Structure 1
Amino acid sequence: RRQTRGRDERLTWLCDELSRRPLTEIVQFQVRLDEVTHEAFTWDLWAAAERIFGGWCADDGFCYFGLWMVGIGREAFVRAVIDPDSLADTPEVQCLVGRPRELWNDDWPEWESLDYVAMEAYGLLTRADDDCGDAFYEAVEAEEGAVGGNRGPRGEQ
């Protein structure tokens, strides 16, 4: 975040950085990203997302919201996991207040493309064409190991 401005520049920088690493580190990046976003997979944060969006938030939208939370920084992320209402005080949410959603543009609180940056770096390093996804996700699953139990949102709806 300190290296660039804007999501697109951040993704380019991150992809470049990851593609300089061994494949195992790229896979571990995705595993850790999955772990961190799962920390935010709570009903209370889902309710906060719905409040920010002005109503309903779909499953995919909430996943992308969690990725966006990663992008607003560790301190804000940790604070929001503990107290979802703290999101209201972040500059990223404050800039949305009073603006119609159709004018949010680049400020929209989601960051789907962050979920694909490691796969892109993996493809660059393996020089694979567009079908590197299977190999990448197999490596991620192998690194994560068997995940048991319910992976649904924590807490009460």
Structure 2
Amino acid sequence: MIKSLERYEPAQIIEFECLLRQQILAADDFKIIAAQKIIRGSVSDDSYLYFRCWLIGQGEETFTKAVYNPDSLADIDTEEVYPDFESLLYVATQAYHHKTGKKEEDETFPRAIAIERGLDYDGATETKGEDWEEEQLPTLLPKLWAKHN
């Protein structure tokens, strides 16, 4: 993935980072957290971020369906695949590094520019939807609950 991205101009690599962050923020919803809790059994700040990256990695159709209705993740085989795609967070930085030859990350790197544009996924925005209690999970996401419990 890095090799593919580094074929683009630095400005396009920056836009990739910004688009990625927009999608991570779009998926920041209490029902997505509930889906992760059901699928993986636990949620932490880091694992929730990596779960959303995994969700993006499933492709536009699956991502869009899941953001609209996280219960649709019951249709995905998560038994064979660990739903975590942390490495997606580093693709733009690595591609930019290779493309520009810059060794040290600075304010010109994709991450810094995205944050400057307000695309900070580290608690800078409110999670959408309503928080839930664990006993609500079977009715909140019934298909997903039935598959994993």
Say yes or no: TM over 0.5.
yes
Pair 1:156-2:124 in alignment: no
- Report how far residue 153 of structure 1 moved: 1.0
Pair 1:87 & 2:61 matched: no
Output the CA distance in 1 between the equivalents of 2:67 and 2:89: 19
For these two proteins, the number of residue pairs brought into alignment is 127
Ranges in structure 2 where 5+ consecutive residues have no aligned partner = 132-149
Q: What is the percentage of aligned positions where both structures have the same residue?
A: 32
Would you say 1:70 and 2:43 are equivalent positions?
no
**Cα pair 1:119 1:133 within 8 Å, conserved:** no
Contact 2:31–2:70 (8 Å) recurs in 1: yes
Q: Is the 8 A contact 2:18 2:114 kept in 1?
A: yes
- Structure with bigger RCO (C-alpha 8 Å, 6+ apart): 2
- Does residue 108 of the first structure (1) align with residue 82 of the second (2)? yes
Q: CA deviation at 1:78?
A: 0.6
Q: Residues 10-34 of structure 1: CA distance to partner in whole angstroms, max 9, x if unpaired?
A: xxxx211211111110000000000
Residues 27 and 67, structure 2, Cα contact 8 Å, conserved in 1:
yes
Paired AA for residue 53 in structure 2: L
Which of 33, 43, 47 is matched with 2:34 structurally? 47
Q: Is the 1:68–1:111 Cα contact (8 Å) retained in structure 2?
A: yes
1:106-126 deviation digits (Å, cap 9, x = unpaired) = x21010110100000000011
> TM-score normalized by structure 2?
0.78
**1:140: which partner in 2?**
114
Partners of 2:55 and 2:63 within 8 A in 1? yes
Q: Which has a greater percent of helix?
A: 1
- Please tell me the residue identity of whatever aligns with 1:132: E
Residue ranges of structure 1 left out of the alignment (5+ in a row): 1-13, 97-103
Distance 1:57 1:121, change over 3 A: same
Using the TM superposition, give the Cα deviation of residue 64 of structure 1 relative to its aligned residue in structure 2, in angstroms.
0.4
Q: Distance in 2 between matches of 1:133 and 1:74?
A: 31
* AA partner of residue 108 (structure 1): Y
